[in-house]
Structure 1
Amino acid sequence: MRHTRISGLAPSRSAPPTGEAGALLPRRDLAVAWSLVVVIAALAWVLTIGQAREMGVEPGTMGMALPLFLVLWVTMMAAMMLPSMAPVAITWARGIGRQSSGWTRAARTTGFAGGYLLVWTAFGLLAYAALAVTGGLVDDHPTAGRWIGFTAFLLAGLYQLGPLKNVCLRHCRSPMGQLMRYAGFRPPARDLRVGAHHGAYCVGCCTGLMVVLIPLGVMNIAAMAGLAVVIFVEKLWPRGPLLGRVVGVAFLVLAVLALFQDWLLPGLSASVPSMGGM
């Protein structure tokens, strides 16, 4: 059987075993990479929290124009997704290894991250459209808020328990096999394409979790932090898939409760009438 050697990912004969921390990337570079991840994620959280405090939690797009929304959305995604995406990006950087200079590795890793965020930006367009529609509905029909919340939690729960979630989560938990497929890709933009491919799987993995931001509020810091923890644990904990299913069941329970409990709908609360008005 013919085996294809993966340029940039397969270790050279002179390389130490891949299980060692510095097998393909010097330990100093690994430390710098992880430090950069921490700094960027922390900065994204600071910016997101600061903006959320100014805007509060309101229904729909909160009056934001699309360009501003996308800027905030990408910042949110960097804060929420970067910790769980970092191992894949650093794996890619390790695969580049000593075949490239430090600056080249940095540029290629940046291309990977750029492709990843590009996919999440595209998903932000869908998120903006969904928020605009639901925001308009609850403004025109206040009682629709509960049914929107019910539907969002229901769809999120079913998605968490569905086959597409399982396929995408399996990729995100073990991306090396997918990264190896890119041996035939040629520059330019190979790293951008790899990042976008992984980003597409990540979107597929997290779509259900993102849907609940409609009833919980897109600028709800507590909800974002909770979802970020779920995403991180799903992808990196050995029993992550089990957690995903537990979260799916919890969403189905919340779907029923959303019809009666207004506090579960802070993202729709401005338009949800009290129980006395039902």
Structure 2
Amino acid sequence: MRPGPRAPDPPPVLLSRRELAVGWTLMLLIAVLAWAVTVTQSRRMGTGPGTMGLAPPLFLALWVVMMAAMMLPSVAPVAITWVRGIGRRSAGPARVLRTAGFVSGYLLAWTAFGLLVYAVLTVTASLVGESPGAARWIGAGAFLLAGIQQFGPLKRICLRHCRNPMFQLARYARYRRWAKDLRVGAHHGLYCVGCCWGLMAVLVPLGVMNVAAMAAVSVVIFLEKLWSRGPWLARAVGIAFLVLAVLAPFQDWLLPGLGSTPMGDMDPMGDTAPAG
């Protein structure tokens, strides 16, 4: 038997202003809670070098919280736009669950990147432990890499996607239903990783748990994606990173995440001299 004609899609269910406000509020509330956890952990742990002694599972758990704090404000418009698109076939609690799937997939992409960050921090901590002077050149290299990335083609392509995701969201609509929202969020998250990995690289010298550095990076990410002059800001930030790359070998205060100690506080034997 031939299958019968396909039933027409249900009429669109558009989000009201109230529903949009609820979506924004929930995303920002999650970000605020994530920031609260991050700040609390930072006060307990300090801005130490490397992975600060954390095992991979604990590091990744903290990393996911940090990414929720830093990235959700900038990804909220995309998530809400996706909700408006999928609203054709879902409403109420179902829409909330599917949006949660999108956000979970997005954070999954950043979790995978967190594994790479853990490996890099482990290697850099080992190098600095064997040769403390290497901190200056590792820091300079991190700033240089971040600066170059701000001008590279990967940054340009991924930033264009993050700023104008509508075309890709239309392609996502053709995904099969199985774990659709999770896969859409993960795919968009990969674009975001490609756009922002250089900005995250500066946390190696500045400190992964450096709240001030995290806040500055999250503001840059937000403006790059949502401000009309975001691409110009990306280039300006790239120039700033290149300047920091030149200064890093001579300015120890730029390297708290590598355990660098100002030269004036060191005695001739290489130990930290007491104050006064």
- Asked whether the 8 Å contact 1:161–1:245 carries over to 2, the reply is yes
TM-aligned CA deviation for residue 83 of structure 1 = 0.2
Alignment of 1:1-278 (within 5 A): 24-268=14-258, 270-272=259-261, 274=263
Residue matched to 1:18: none
Q: Helix, strand or coil: the match of 2:170?
A: helix
Structure whose alpha-carbon radius of gyration is higher:
2
CA RMSD of aligned residues (A): 1.8
Distance between the aligned counterparts of 2:260 and 2:242, measured in 1? 23
- Asked whether the 8 Å contact 2:147–2:240 carries over to 1, the reply is yes
TM-aligned CA deviation for residue 184 of structure 1 = 2.4
Distance between the aligned counterparts of 1:273 and 1:240, measured in 2? 35
Task: Give ranges in structure 2 of 5+ residues lacking alignment.
Answer: 1-7, 271-276
Identity %: 67
Distance between the aligned counterparts of 1:239 and 1:28, measured in 2? 29
Letter matched to residue 274 of structure 1: M
CA distance 1:137–1:273, shift in 2 (3 Å): farther
TM-aligned CA deviation for residue 271 of structure 1 = 4.2
Distance between the aligned counterparts of 2:261 and 2:193, measured in 1? 30
- Asked whether the 8 Å contact 1:215–1:265 carries over to 2, the reply is yes
CA distance 1:191–1:198, shift in 2 (3 Å): same
Distance between the aligned counterparts of 2:15 and 2:228, measured in 1? 25
Distance between the aligned counterparts of 1:92 and 1:101, measured in 2? 13
TM-aligned CA deviation for residue 182 of structure 1 = 1.8
TM-aligned CA deviation for residue 97 of structure 1 = 1.8
Letter matched to residue 98 of structure 2: R
Letter matched to residue 61 of structure 1: T
Distance between the aligned counterparts of 2:129 and 2:141, measured in 1? 17
Distance between the aligned counterparts of 2:59 and 2:49, measured in 1? 14
- Asked whether the 8 Å contact 2:163–2:225 carries over to 1, the reply is yes
Letter matched to residue 127 of structure 1: V
Task: Give ranges in structure 1 of 5+ residues lacking alignment.
Answer: 1-6, 16-22
Distance between the aligned counterparts of 1:169 and 1:271, measured in 2? 33
User: Normalising by the residue count of structure 1, what TM-score does the alignment of the two structures yield?
Assistant: 0.90
Q: How many residues align?
A: 260
User: Normalising by the residue count of structure 2, what TM-score does the alignment of the two structures yield?
Assistant: 0.90
Distance between the aligned counterparts of 2:131 and 2:240, measured in 1? 27
Distance between the aligned counterparts of 2:52 and 2:223, measured in 1? 30
TM-aligned CA deviation for residue 31 of structure 1 = 1.5
Q: Helix, strand or coil: the match of 2:249?
A: coil
Distance between the aligned counterparts of 2:37 and 2:96, measured in 1? 24
